[in-house]
Structure 1
Amino acid sequence: MKKIAKLCSFWMLMTIPIFGFSQYTDVINSNRPGTSFSAYSVGTKVYQGEFGMSYGHDEHNLFDADVDYFDIEYAFRWGVWREQFEVILNGNYQIDQLTDRGRTFTRSGPMNTTLGAKYLFYDPQRKRKLEEPNLYSWKANQGKKFKWKNLVPALSGYVGANIRFNGSPFVYGSNFNFFNENEADISGKIMLITQSHITADWVFVTNFIYDRIGTDFTSTQYIFTLTHAFNIKWAAFVENQGISSDFYSDNIVRFGGAYLLNSNLQFDASFNFNTKDTPSRTFGGIGVSYRMDYHESKWELVDDGKKLPKNELEQPKKKKGWPILRWFKKKDKNVPPPDEEFDENEN
């Protein structure tokens, strides 16, 4: 009888609604060394900084101009309000030497500065965590096995504002401004983000961007990033970014890797080039990401991937009416009678 009681207890634990986790991860979730944004946020009460430096050379054959530059990149990410919500301040500061038709200039200033917020609308991983294991196949339960449903991506939206500082020699994120165009001090940016965990060690991220909204030269962009984790420490990525605008268009290829030193510290390196000569671009860099983790896990009671209402979490309501009258109510025939008591010494 003891064995029966234990077995019943086990199945009760397996069949009751289980607790779902937030999207917070035990290790740092950095967007570096690529330029795409992941769909997931860092988690509430997490403060994360992502920094890099790169050196590059651009050459514009049509206008006989070239530039050598040193770039400092930064991103600050804060998880606030809800687990799905994140505030992001990112940009880069550039120091360069421009040679334009025989004349040489030294320039410096902010190239891009953007303040925005991201929200995760749909997370397929949330429901997959609730799936029961396959009791008949060990292989089916392994994360490295491809499943078609893994192609269903997480979906996030981003809204931000580009801020141009007075005195900056750069406009529209370009190293060249042959026609002395001006850029508005404030412009809009929106983005749709998808992220698919194809297997446990392959992740595919896409960004679809509409940028410089409200200016004379709006741009549309896409970024496709494929990441592979070799183990818990090492990962590599390849990325393609397309930019289309009347001011500047490009097609950039990036690849590189990252090393996780500990759960809150990551180092990275990357190399970049494009596929055109107006201008041609080659640049590479290194970076570091660090987070201060004050996250507090909040548990939610979920059933079949759906969050249960608050009243499901409350204690059962007390039965109404006089106790003596409840004796005469009809009993529910579907409720099985209580098990008979068993001897503690019984095997």
Structure 2
Amino acid sequence: MRRVLLLFLLFSYSFIVNAQYTEIINSKRPGFSESPYSIGTDVFQFETGLFYRSSNNKVQPATPNTIGGELFFRYGKFKEKLEFNAKIAYQRDEILNTPNPNFNISGISQLTIGAKYLIYEQKYTDKSKEVRSWKRKMAFDKKRLIPSVGAFVGVNTNFLGKDFKENELTLKGAVLLQNDFSNRLVLLTNLIADKILSDSNEYSYIATMTYALNYKWSYFIENQGVFEKGFTPKFHFGTGLAYLFSRNLQIDASVRTNFFEDYSYLYSSVGVAWRLDRHSDEIINKNSPRAQLSKKSNRKKKGNFFSRIFKKKKRRH
């Protein structure tokens, strides 16, 4: 019985020290890229927003105006490194029908169900304890060039509106990378393969640089490239702001465009992220730019830009 209890305690400890949970909401919004870190066990999170898109693409069939809403639901269970999620989008498109009048279609345009897992977490040297050399304390940690790595696997379901239905179920996979260059500056890189096993398979990348202005405000810049078979590649650039309203609520806004003459593109979005926190562990995983700044003002809260920047805190025995 003692051996069983000892094994259980060892297992529990190894499970806890890898915790991904943070005291501040860990939101994917307002950027399109995603961190390799999960939200933590027994956390229910809802990230929703309204978007407007205007485009004039002469190569592909044009949808001059699109308005819609999306919901990204996230749930942590079983392991701290594991997260289940689902994304649903509803939109109304204006379809160009020259020389006839334009017409509209509407319905559920996306319903993807998947899971994310943190494969590798990069550790950084704690230079706050370095007192012998100012140069060593201020030197850049080369480990920060090696990213933390996560993976996403999902299924694009066919439970869509009649105007958006696909012929079959398709798969989606992504490699998620995160470089913490400092306590304020983070780079997220996503390499994505979408609509796998179909004739319209799509490959893309997203690179997002995030920076925390202070404990409450943060902003990002983002570049996205989309490569579809038979179509000209698309490259979009975006920026936006996020405001931490409370430890469980974030408000955001963003805008995107392209810099090419062959077609025009404008995308804008506003949204909120809210979580129902049922997490019971007493551990916080990663400090963030907001957390670093809050320490200076003797605050106990810890957070980050989109709460994507985490740092482990050792548990007291």
- If the TM-score is normalised by the length of the shorter chain, which range does it land in? 0.7 to 0.9
Report the AA paired with residue 275 of structure 2: R
Q: Shift in Å at residue 91 of structure 1?
A: 3.0
Please name the residue that 2:191 is paired with. Answer: 208
Distance in 2 of aligned mates of 1:297 and 1:150: 27
**Is there any run of 5+ residues in structure 2 with no aligned partner, and where?**
1-15, 284-316
Determine the C-alpha separation between the residues in 2 that align with 1:99 and 1:282: 17
Residues 61-210 of structure 1: pairs in structure 2 closer than 5 A: 61-62=58-59, 65-103=62-100, 104-125=102-123, 128=125, 133-137=129-133, 146-165=140-159, 167-170=161-164, 183-210=166-193
Residue equivalent to 1:342: none
Measured in 1, the distance between the counterparts of 2:260 and 2:230 equals 15
Deviation at 1:67, TM superposition (A): 1.9
Residue equivalent to 1:281: 265
TM normalised by structure 2 equals 0.77
User: Residue 106 of structure 1: CA displacement?
Assistant: 1.1
3-state SS of paired residue (2:144): helix
Gap change, CA 1:230 and 1:167, over 3 Å in 2: closer
Q: TM-score, normalised by structure 1?
A: 0.71
Q: Could you say if the C-alpha distance between residues 184 and 279 of structure 1 is closer, same or farther in structure 2, counting changes exceeding 3 Å?
A: farther
Percent identity for Structure 1 against Structure 2 = 35
Aligned residues: 268
Partner of 1:14: none
Q: Equivalents in 1 of 2:63, 2:155: separation in Å?
A: 30
Q: Which amino acid aligns with 2:218?
A: A
Larger Rg: 1
Partner of residue 8, structure 1: none
Q: Does the CA-based 8 Å contact 2:219-2:242 persist in structure 1?
A: yes
CA distance in 1, matches of 2:271, 2:109: 18
Per-residue deviation, 1:247: 5.2
2:15 is aligned with 1:32: no
- With over 3 angstroms needed to count, the CA separation of the structure-2 counterparts of 1:34 and 1:135, relative to structure 1, is same
Separation of aligned partners in 2, 1:186 and 1:46: 29
Query: What is the CA–CA distance in structure 1 between the aligned matches of 2:136 and 2:86, rounded to whole Å?
Result: 41
Partner residue in 2 for 1:238: 221
Matches of 1:163 and 1:44, distance apart in 2: 25
Unaligned runs of 5+ in 1: 1-18, 172-182, 300-312, 314-347
Query: How far apart, CA to CA, are the structure 2 residues paired with 1:62 and 1:211?
Result: 21
Larger deviation, residues 274-283 vs 73-82 = 274-283
Which has the larger displacement, 88-97 or 290-299?
290-299
Corresponding residue to 2:19 among 17, 22, 30: 22
Shift, 1:278, TM fit: 5.6
Whether contact under 8 Å (1:59, 1:281) holds in the other structure is yes
Indicate how the Cα distance of structure 1 residues 66 and 84 shifts in structure 2: closer, same or farther if over 3 A, else same.
closer
Contact 1:165 1:185 in 2 (8 A): no
1:230-309 maps to which residues of 2 (within 5 A)?
230-246=213-229, 248=231, 249-276=233-260, 279-297=263-281
Could you tell me how far apart the structure 2 residues matched to 1:64 and 1:242 are?
A: 19
Identify which of 54, 57, 82 aligns with 1:57.
54
- Superposed structure 1 runs of 4+ greater than 3 Å apart: 62-66, 137-142, 275-279
